[in-house]
Amino acid sequence: MKTKKIKATYRNGMIEPLDQISLPEGQELEVEFKVLLKTPHELSREEKNELIQKMNGSMKGTWGSTVEEIEAYIMSEP
């Protein structure tokens, strides 16, 4: 059995490949996937606020406690 790893997005209930796939029409596949986490640079303001709320415990304050503080921390990274 030949395996190949590709990147894809999930949109409107469909998995859309981001890479070219060269297979015969109708080829059956077995798909195994993992959800890739966003980097801090890719988070929206709302996602950052949600993350702050989830950090409510021991992690809170590590990077800051407001979106502005977290954005400043992210921008200061090398």
* pLDDT of 70: 72
56 Rama class: left (phi>0) / alpha (psi -120 to 50) / beta? alpha
pLDDT for residue 59: 56
pTM: 0.42
pLDDT of residue 78: 62
The per-residue pLDDT for range 25-73, each reduced to its tens digit, is 999 999 888 887 777 778 888 887 777 776 665 555 566 667 777 777 7
| CA dist., res. 56 & res. 4, Å (int) | 40
More confident residue, 10 or 38: 10
